[in-house]
Structure 1
Amino acid sequence: MSKLAWWQRGVIYQIYPRSFQDSNGDGIGDLRGIDARLDYLVSLGVDAVWISPIYPSPMADFGYDVADYCNIDPMFGTLTDFKQLVDHAHRLGLKVLLDFVPNHSSDRHPWFEESRSSRDNPKRDWYLWRDPAPDGGPPNNWLSRMGGSAWEWDEHTRQYYYHAFLREQPDLNWRNQQVRRAMNDVLRFWLDRGVDGFRVDVLWLLIKDAQFRDNPLNPAYGPGAPDHHRLLQTYTEDQPEVHEIVRSMRATLSEYGERVLIGEIYLPVPQLVKYYGTNGDGADMPFNFQLLSAAWNAGEIARMIRDYDSALPEHAWPNWVLGNHDNPRVASRVGTAQARVAAVLLLTLRGTPTLYYGDEIGMTDGAIGPDEIQDPAERRQPGIGQGRDPERTPMQWDSSLPNAAFTSGKPWLPIATTTSVRDQDSDASSVLSLYRRLLILRRNNAALVQGTIEHVAANGDVLTYERRYHDQRLFIALNMGVEEATVQTGAGVVLLSTLADRDGEVLVEGANRLAAGEALIASF
């Protein structure tokens, strides 16, 4: 496995910093809190931490509205705290990834304040400004992903500016070469401080149509869907020129050796895989989000695995994501029993897995009362289920202590459930113990890290596949149903089962039982 890059061998753990650990009692997680919990991540068995935005921000969208790309928001700490965190992580053998938010800044960023000061300001073209339509309205029909028009009128300069998200998040003009140089300098700023790579926010949105043409109507739009789904995003996403930007970012990271570039890209697989570029000049891993919205049945997921694996370019390294800060938690999507099956799936598929904090203890979505809503996506479009607060509730460390030991103050979001790390730490049957066992097994078996994936099949509710590397052959079976099933296997030994008493069991060639909601890994 030494021939692989660290990000190919490893497992990434996403931390939503507001919700991981508070060190100063203000109810919001911070860098010192993350630093204090690094030993836990080592004991879990992950290899890298990806930290969601920690830059100075008015927090209109909780850090995704950046006011300074080269500093730390006081809410989270200081640059000194960050350097101490990186150094501590490296001593423990952990890599540190940062969220990079290049599509848009805050409207309070000095760049935008200059841009909107006058039409002839040198930074005017750093953002997307357009004259009104003949009727005085927005320049075209483009819609914000947070609801309503994507164009905001600026009375001072008598033009509209474009914002794909909140009006407080004006989009940068990535056709401007000065913007590209400035953003590459931002990458270098953090690389100089030891970061091991970046997850790039909404990478596929960076370039917009140069002619600003209207998006066509979406014939499939129906009631209850987000407002921007009324239109097909033909001219506001996945433009051909975006790949030039990806190549530039990849080249910048390559100046620093083995650094990883991960892209947030919500696109169908045939479009997604184009972001790998040619022979390593694109994103190392365009995030593969299929499991976040997959119908939880064996046939659908078998098809998904086969289609994804066959679509990958020869040089491409696969990856899988089970949860993140923008989607309901896996235990809420598939149920607590099947969440164990999902854990085995994630950590035995071919490619790099990304875990979302708290999934390793089976955290479920929190219940957020109307007066507790924080997320602007829900505030602007209430009642359509776009709110992301439920999956962002604080990490539950110790249910015997107030606020589950997340904070000594009032948490920014309510604590979701009663389970905790402390409850599960010494319980061999817990979800946490399952994740630890899976991560140890993955680390010690080359077939799970760099082996091929073969014989992907579904038989009723049972999904099966093999991982092979040289003479090592592992068989994985996942019962996604609510009834016991049988599975055809060769003669072998169970290395791990979600039923703890099966570890080490000898399998005979032929039909073997698989309990409802059981997943197992066997060696043949």
Structure 2
Amino acid sequence: MELSWFKKGTIYQIYPRSFNDSNDDGIGDLRGIIDKLDYLQSLHVDILWLSPIFSSPNDDNGYDISDYCSIMPEFGSMEDFDELLQKTHDKGMRLILDLVANHCSDEHNWFKEAKKSKDNPYRDYFHWKKPEDDGGPPNNWKSFFGGSAWEYDTKSEEYYLHLFTKKQPDLNWENPKVREEIYNAMRFWLDKGVDGFRMDVIPLISKREGYPDAPDVGFRKIIEDVYANGPRLHEYLKEMNEKVVRHYDAFSLAEGVGINHENAGLYIDYDRRELDMLYHFDILECTIVNGKFEETSPFDLVNMKSIFKKWRDAVHEKGWLANAMGNHDFARMTSRFGDDKQYWAESAKMLFIMQSTQNGTLNIYQGDEIGMTNIVLESVDEVRDVQSLNFYNENSKTKKLSQESALEMINREGRDNARTPVQWNDEINGGFSLGEPWLKTNPNYVNINVRKQNNDPDSILNFYRNLLQIRKENDVFVYGDFKELGFNNSSIYVYKKVLKKEQIIVILNFEGTEGYFEIKENLTEAIVLINNYNKYKIEGDIIHLEPYQGLIFKV
């Protein structure tokens, strides 16, 4: 069933651990989210996406699930969740959960049973292999978080597969019992009234027969050709849709790790009835050459334009994309693509103009609406992210980088940047908690916080609110046909969107200097829908732009 409510809607991602702490234990919780529902409603967002809230030992902050049908005690109770869901719906918003179906926790009962013996009925819930003749792992696969993707179990003298941490064993989707376990967990939440799922690393669930060695190529290519897009993947996705999702007024959003624009249609083509939409990683990783921490490259606007275009062309009228510029796995959007110092507010607003006018369902990550920025962690003792810690510890062994350089890379690209507590006010810990936060609060909360911006008409927060309301009122933002203007301009991004008689022109300056653009369209009678400055200047065919200026004209 092709739904429309999720297409025009705006998704707001909540990372519960860092959103709002209601009981001052330093960890965000469900009641903390309930307390902020009026705030979320004021943003004009439509769908709340919660990163995992299920029972977990937190080796990877909830992405290692020990019980798919219970709430992590740190976050509250099932009664708290039921209240959150009901009040979210009462306020006209929807709620989706983060489904982690590629792997679970090694503390899940399934894995505890599987480790007891080779003939245990749960053994085949996971991927087990005998050692190579030399006693080493079955192949050369590497974990996303560094090191081998295989962990040796001394009791059974076999290895189990974990594409992430060793406490996150991969589930064996070849086993129909595993699939039915996941489907039953989905039904549990959908029967409660949950509106859908964001599906974590879902392209990885089908493993290649024989577990062939990965070629000696970049890690990105290995993900695409070895870990993702396995031989039975689309069979599983069709089955999931047929048995579960299509029976509810719900939608599925895939985390598109390993998916490229050429095979995206296999996932989201309407006629295939697999997934409703996906977000890809090409924008999120456009400054990362070959995997986080390995090698980065300067931001290239023409490259970003090319990425947007190839994905638009790939799914045009055949499928639907989610439009994400940041999430819990990447450094802060304004720090990566804008200027988080001299032109902090201007660049944050300009980037949101771009994001809100690209095709696809808009995804906002918590804190971006106030321009939260990267944090500087002073020592490895302040790092909490398992991926960053593994990188630092591996580097300590290889000594490829100095400790200072390794920490600098973590501060630039590490996931803790996006996970610092939301900055609600200028009081202790930014109003997140009276207790010591699980992760250091960014010291700039004194100047960057919700309370300070709430009543400031020129703030980033109110810019988001205004632009989201305008987007709701103008379908051309969501559904308009896209035409690039001046594609090869490396500092200014200009495009037109047209839907029937509606037409907008978007002009964005990505430089911290003044710029200009020759525009052939007649803007003399156009209405300025949005402008992140209180001025603009047109002389003949030339529009003059301030540093990081962004405008939307309605023609």
Q: What interval of TM-score do these two structures reach, taking the shorter chain for normalisation?
A: over 0.9
With over 3 angstroms needed to count, the CA separation of the structure-2 counterparts of 1:347 and 1:356, relative to structure 1, is same
With over 3 angstroms needed to count, the CA separation of the structure-2 counterparts of 1:515 and 1:192, relative to structure 1, is same
- Quote the Cα distance in structure 2 between the aligned partners of 1:355 and 1:204: 23
- Quote the Cα distance in structure 2 between the aligned partners of 1:444 and 1:253: 33
| Deviations 1:275-299 (CA, angstroms, capped at 9, x unpaired) | 2145151211111333223364442
Establish whether residue 474 from structure 1 lines up as the match of residue 507 from structure 2. no
- Three-state SS of the structure 1 residue aligned to 2:226 is coil
1:281 corresponds, among 268, 273, 281, to 273
Match of 1:339 in 2: 348
Match of 1:443 in 2: 472
With over 3 angstroms needed to count, the CA separation of the structure-2 counterparts of 1:500 and 1:280, relative to structure 1, is farther
Match of 1:353 in 2: 362
Match of 1:290 in 2: 282
Post-superposition offset of 1:306: 1.9
Opposite residue 59 of structure 2, the aligned amino acid is A
Q: In the alignment, is the contact (CA less than 8 A) between 2:54 and 2:69 conserved in 1? A: yes
Post-superposition offset of 1:237: 2.1
Opposite residue 276 of structure 2, the aligned amino acid is D
Establish whether residue 409 from structure 1 lines up as the match of residue 435 from structure 2. yes
Match of 2:238 in 1: 247
Match of 1:170 in 2: 169
Establish whether residue 493 from structure 1 lines up as the match of residue 527 from structure 2. yes
Match of 1:80 in 2: 79
Match of 1:126 in 2: 125
Q: In the alignment, is the contact (CA less than 8 A) between 1:485 and 1:516 conserved in 2? A: no
Post-superposition offset of 1:464: 1.1
Establish whether residue 391 from structure 1 lines up as the match of residue 421 from structure 2. no
- Quote the Cα distance in structure 1 between the aligned partners of 2:127 and 2:301: 45
With over 3 angstroms needed to count, the CA separation of the structure-2 counterparts of 1:445 and 1:4, relative to structure 1, is farther
Establish whether residue 260 from structure 1 lines up as the match of residue 263 from structure 2. no
| Deviations 1:114-145 (CA, angstroms, capped at 9, x unpaired) | 11111011111110011111112111111111
Establish whether residue 365 from structure 1 lines up as the match of residue 374 from structure 2. yes
- Quote the Cα distance in structure 1 between the aligned partners of 2:142 and 2:120: 27
Q: In the alignment, is the contact (CA less than 8 A) between 2:183 and 2:244 conserved in 1? A: no
RMSD of aligned alpha carbons: 2.0
- Quote the Cα distance in structure 1 between the aligned partners of 2:149 and 2:490: 46
Q: In the alignment, is the contact (CA less than 8 A) between 2:18 and 2:28 conserved in 1? A: yes
Match of 1:516 in 2: 547
Opposite residue 271 of structure 1, the aligned amino acid is N
- Quote the Cα distance in structure 2 between the aligned partners of 1:151 and 1:86: 39
Pick which of 436-445 and 205-214 moved more. Answer: 205-214
- Normalised TM-score (structure 2): 0.88
- Quote the Cα distance in structure 2 between the aligned partners of 1:456 and 1:317: 24
Q: In the alignment, is the contact (CA less than 8 A) between 1:338 and 1:517 conserved in 2? A: yes
Opposite residue 331 of structure 1, the aligned amino acid is T
Q: In the alignment, is the contact (CA less than 8 A) between 2:516 and 2:542 conserved in 1? A: no
> Which residues of structure 2 form unaligned runs of 5+?
288-298, 393-405
Post-superposition offset of 1:514: 2.2
Post-superposition offset of 1:53: 0.6
Q: In the alignment, is the contact (CA less than 8 A) between 2:330 and 2:414 conserved in 1? A: no
With over 3 angstroms needed to count, the CA separation of the structure-2 counterparts of 1:232 and 1:99, relative to structure 1, is closer
Pick which of 12-21 and 290-299 moved more. Answer: 290-299
Task: Write out aligned runs for 1:193-232 (5 A).
Answer: 193-218=192-217, 221=218
- Three-state SS of the structure 1 residue aligned to 2:209 is coil
Q: In the alignment, is the contact (CA less than 8 A) between 1:5 and 1:258 conserved in 2? A: no
Match of 2:384 in 1: 374
Identity fraction in percent: 38
With over 3 angstroms needed to count, the CA separation of the structure-2 counterparts of 1:284 and 1:509, relative to structure 1, is farther
- Three-state SS of the structure 2 residue aligned to 1:149 is coil
Opposite residue 514 of structure 1, the aligned amino acid is L
Post-superposition offset of 1:230: 10
- Three-state SS of the structure 1 residue aligned to 2:248 is coil
Query: How many equivalent residue pairs?
Result: 510
Q: In the alignment, is the contact (CA less than 8 A) between 1:289 and 1:322 conserved in 2? A: no
Match of 1:269 in 2: 261
Q: In the alignment, is the contact (CA less than 8 A) between 2:115 and 2:156 conserved in 1? A: yes
- Three-state SS of the structure 1 residue aligned to 2:67 is coil
Opposite residue 274 of structure 1, the aligned amino acid is L
- Three-state SS of the structure 1 residue aligned to 2:308 is helix
- Normalised TM-score (structure 1): 0.93
| Deviations 1:305-356 (CA, angstroms, capped at 9, x unpaired) | 2211111153312321011011110111022242221100110112111010
Match of 2:462 in 1: 433
Pick which of 236-245 and 109-118 moved more. Answer: 236-245
Opposite residue 461 of structure 2, the aligned amino acid is L
- Quote the Cα distance in structure 1 between the aligned partners of 2:248 and 2:221: 44
Match of 1:311 in 2: 314
Match of 2:395 in 1: none
Opposite residue 492 of structure 2, the aligned amino acid is V
With over 3 angstroms needed to count, the CA separation of the structure-2 counterparts of 1:229 and 1:452, relative to structure 1, is closer
- Quote the Cα distance in structure 1 between the aligned partners of 2:384 and 2:527: 49
With over 3 angstroms needed to count, the CA separation of the structure-2 counterparts of 1:79 and 1:310, relative to structure 1, is same
Match of 1:225 in 2: none
- Quote the Cα distance in structure 1 between the aligned partners of 2:269 and 2:210: 25
- Three-state SS of the structure 2 residue aligned to 1:500 is coil
> Which residues of structure 1 form unaligned runs of 5+?
222-227
- Quote the Cα distance in structure 2 between the aligned partners of 1:230 and 1:93: 42
